[in-house]
Amino acid sequence: MKHIRLLLLFAILISFVTITITMAQSAEATSGYFPLQIGNQWSYTSLFYYVTQTITDTARIHGHLYYRMSGNTSSSSTWFRTSHDSVFVMKHLTDSSESPLYYLNGNVGDTIKLLPGYGCTFGTKTILAGKEDTVSSFFRTYFHCYHFKHITGCIDGGMYDSWLAKDVGLVQYQQEDFNGLFTYNLDSSTILTSIKSTTADANITSYLLFDNYPNPFNPQTTLSYRIKKSSHVTLAIFDLTGKEIVQLVNQQQALGNYHISWNAEGMPSGVYFAILRTSDFSITRKLILEK
């Protein structure tokens, strides 16, 4: 009897460890195929259009952390979160009703029914169409992509197909508007990692100052930058005459990724420049304030 109890306890322990590992792997898989971090940016090009999506900020609703993704083609924004092996989408914080969008641990053919209200954007349903697709973009080929088919609820709008790649996110999608069906290919991306991650920090090998978002802006914009080693960092805003308007950063900083906002309330419309400097590096970005 004692041996039987030990065997039962061992079986329960193995099951618990297996479930824990499976959940950890699922969470890692979801976050890898749909990376959410403030400053992440994806740019897509189709035959006639250029679309940029940027994660600008976060919000915690009902205990869940959401990331706001904003585009250059609209003033609206969409909120996303990942949980284990699923991606959820929420249109408005005031409504706070979310819908499942992608499920990455299912079988090919599995279907997710979206909540009403997403028919003209992400569809009424998403179907897992493949897990091993190869997608060729302008500068790179992505392997082992998840392919989802979207059953649209509109005649002239919405996403039809989407492909997710590991450590990148959405690399290609097809969407219809009044001018027809277009394929959008990823042509550039900026995937930041948490500055609290020592593993991520170890992979930082260069200084970078990313394009601010939004741009044009009114009156606030966010600048993201990367420091490859401990340095004294200055980040300042200048006008067209070269006059310094404001100094946003002037301090010693460790290697990592940083984000800071500039509120240009009271400043006239026009072109400004953000200049990031360290002891051995300098870079400039153009900012456009439109009121």
Domains of the chain by start residue, with CATH? 32-190 (2.40.360), 198-289 (2.60.40.1930)
Task: Check residue 158 and give left, alpha or beta (phi > 0: left; psi -120 to 50: alpha).
Answer: left
Is the pLDDT reported for residue 269 higher than 90?
yes
Percentage of the residues of the chain whose pLDDT score is greater than 70: 82
At a CB cut-off of 8 Å and minimum separation 6, what does 249 contact?
233, 234, 235, 236, 258, 260
Q: Which pLDDT tens digit goes with each residue over 41-82?
A: 888 888 777 788 888 888 888 888 999 998 876 556 899 999
* Cβ-count burial 191-211 (b if 16+ within 10 Å, e if not): ebbebeeeeebeebeebbbbb
Task: Give dist(CA 129, CA 36) in Å, integer.
Answer: 23
3-state secondary structure of 35: coil
pTM reported for the whole predicted model: 0.60
What single-letter amino acid sits at 287?
L
| Element spanning 100, H or E | strand 98-103
Higher per-residue confidence, 211 vs 90: 90
Q: Which pLDDT tens digit goes with each residue over 231-254?
A: 899 999 999 888 999 999 999 988
pLDDT category at 268 given cuts 50, 70, 90 is: very high
What single-letter amino acid sits at 90?
M
Tokens of 20: 């824990």
Is the pLDDT reported for residue 147 higher than 90?
yes
pLDDT given at position 208: 81
